[in-house]
Amino acid sequence: MQASQSDQTVAQAYLQLLASRGIEYLFGNAGTDFPPLIEAYAKAQESGIAVPQPILAPHENIAIGMAYGFAMVTGRMQAVMVHVGVGTANSICGLFNASRQAIPIFMTAGRTPWTEKGIEGGRNNYINWAQEMFDQAGMLRESVKWDFELKHPSQLETVVDRAMAIARSEPPGPIYLVLPREVLSATMTEQVSKVTTLAPSVAAHPPPDVISQIGELLKSAKRPVLITSDAGRDHKAWDALTRFAEKHAIAVVQYRPRFASISTSHPMHAGYDPAPYLRESDLVLITECDVPWIPDQVEPRADAKVVQWGSDPLFENYPLRGFRSNITLTASTVATLEALIALPASALISQRLDWVGQLRQPALVKPHSDQGMTSAWVSYCIGQACDEKTVILNEYSLALEQLQFTKPGNYFSHSPAGGLGWATGAALGVRLARPDATVIACVGDGTYMFGNPTPFHFVSRAQSLPVLTVIFNNRRWGAVHRATLSMYPQGQAAQMKEPPFSTLEPSPDYEKIVEACGGYGEKVEDASQLPAALKRALHAIRVKGLPAVLNVITEINYKRTS
């Protein structure tokens, strides 16, 4: 940075800096810390200077969700600004989700002014005392890669570029920058560079000797299987994984996938359950998968070799994770796949194909409306309603086996951290990033309530981001109920129809919430009517541009299907 004579505030320079570094949107939930930014936006509007587009989100969870969804489908990080410690507190669940799913977010918050009198931007409101915290970032430090409080205008460019480089470096994740009002309203005395001077760090290529070691294992393996949850986070992985599976005849299990990694119609797509493969496999390859099996239920054969690789194969931020590994490699998933593709194919290819053929599940019997509003039927109907441009966000309820995903980028699921309330904001972010997409968020009734429905539909309407939400409404927290049954199958609670902390009765008319926000809502109770209801709801979002909700009253099913 060079010294310059300027009548700009730091807030003005900051917004321009964000735009020049590729930040297209600033999702905000404002408070008394925002005036320097609001003034800067007003000046930018007058002068026509490029700044990120401001988007008001009336709950922090929706703001984070939008930045999340946008980055998830594009890889392009966006910014969020919330109100001091209180807004930060409301953001933590979303940030924790993002950190566990490697989603970059430029997360910022104001800070209670630190001066009591006589300084521009200093305290002028009773709230400025009680809101101050000793360590505002402390509450989310575990969920971000880096945090800092901007101390002086001269630091602006260095701090912003450092924050962005860290957030974008492999594996990506959120950072947190605190912006005090005194600094934002100060005069900017430096000139900032037009482009960043700090490149993010990229994932390394695998060393040839480690590739040779994996190659030796690959040559002699009769029953190799690859397990992944997140390989598809890098869209290039779809193609590389497909070619790898074909070249070496490797069964690919997508276990609890958060990103689609291989086409469901590919012969090497081995479904979503690793257990049958693990029981027989002699070589288990794991990439971008935090939990490849549940040790309490299944483990690889004692003589099986295990290889784990990816941008952080040991998941170093997880306190406890003990999945064994003969070779552990920190390297780009795609570069590693490419290096393995270059190896000669084994003589055992036909044996492998026979094995995969034996384990292949028979084709599913198509569900039917006569069986009632089962999760399988609702999932099947949604699958039938999808086209090439449909993007599905799944937060809990979808039976994946009923859908086909044949290209990258049209299926996403929630973070392994499982902080509910993700799909609503993320769906808006996806729609913002892909204006031609049909976005469908699949949620349970509990999840819908966690997702701040009114702020969600408000933003959907205000920003013209129509998305369809399908609520699988079983009038309960089924997951909680199932957890109790699995621990105490013969227990007292198992005898109860409505155990404590499990049921959501009386069930609200959720479809009326979207109606109150000017959208289209329908309750669907008759299974045979679901396809027609889906058509009407899709018409509402595609043709009328309205947010839509289908409140689908489902059977109560305790068995998880995916």
Ligand X SMILES: Cc1ncc(C[n+]2csc(CCOP(=O)(O)OP(=O)(O)O)c2C)c(N)n1
Residue ranges in contact with ligand X by CB under 6 A: 93, 396-397, 418-420, 444-447, 450, 474, 476-480
d(CA 34, CA 12): 12
Give yes or no for a contact between 550 and 524, defined as CB atoms under 8 angstroms apart: yes
Nearest approach, Cβ of 72 to ligand X (angstroms)?
Answer: 19
Which candidate, 538, 232, 551, 553, places its Cα nearest to that of 386? 538
Question: 421: left (phi > 0), else alpha (psi -120 to 50), else beta?
Answer: left
Nearest approach, Cβ of 343 to ligand X (angstroms)?
Answer: 42
Longest dimension (CA), the chain: 80
CA atoms within 13 A on the CB side of 528: 1
Nearest approach, Cβ of 542 to ligand X (angstroms)?
Answer: 26
Choice between 108 and 447, CB closer to ligand X: 447
In eight-state DSSP terms, residue 492 is T
Nearest approach, Cβ of 411 to ligand X (angstroms)?
Answer: 18
| 247, β-bridge pairs | none
Choice between 443 and 541, CB closer to ligand X: 443
Query: 362: exposed, middle or buried (C-beta count within 10 Å: 0-12, 13-18, 19+)?
Result: exposed
Nearest approach, Cβ of 77 to ligand X (angstroms)?
Answer: 24
Choice between 230 and 445, CB closer to ligand X: 445
Per-residue buried b or exposed e for 45-63, using 16+ beta carbons within 10 Å of the residue's own CB:
eeeeeebbebbbbebbbbb
Choice between 400 and 420, CB closer to ligand X: 420
Choice between 326 and 561, CB closer to ligand X: 561
Choice between 88 and 397, CB closer to ligand X: 397
d(CA 262, CA 485): 34
Nearest approach, Cβ of 481 to ligand X (angstroms)?
Answer: 7
Helix-, strand-, coil-residue percentages of the chain, each rounded to 5: 40, 15, 45
Choice between 232 and 419, CB closer to ligand X: 419
Is residue 439 helix, strand or coil?
A: strand
Nearest approach, Cβ of 209 to ligand X (angstroms)?
Answer: 43
Choice between 348 and 420, CB closer to ligand X: 420
Nearest approach, Cβ of 562 to ligand X (angstroms)?
Answer: 11
d(CA 198, CA 16): 17
Choice between 59 and 223, CB closer to ligand X: 59
- Cβ neighbour number for residue 285 with a 10 Å cutoff: 30
- Cβ neighbour number for residue 461 with a 10 Å cutoff: 17
Give yes or no for a contact between 72 and 100, defined as CB atoms under 8 angstroms apart: no
Phi and psi at residue 309, in whole multiples of 5°?
A: -145, 165
Regarding beta strands 2-3 and 190-191, do their DSSP bridges make them parallel or antiparallel, or are they unpaired?
antiparallel
Choice between 383 and 419, CB closer to ligand X: 419
Nearest approach, Cβ of 290 to ligand X (angstroms)?
Answer: 16
Nearest approach, Cβ of 414 to ligand X (angstroms)?
Answer: 9
Which candidate, 265, 276, 222, places its Cα nearest to that of 242? 265
Which residue's CB atom is positioned nearest to ligand X? 444
Q: What separation in angstroms does the CA of 562 have from each of 61, 208, 397, 426, 543?
A: 26, 37, 8, 21, 33
d(CA 219, CA 225): 13
Nearest approach, Cβ of 514 to ligand X (angstroms)?
Answer: 17
Choice between 96 and 293, CB closer to ligand X: 96
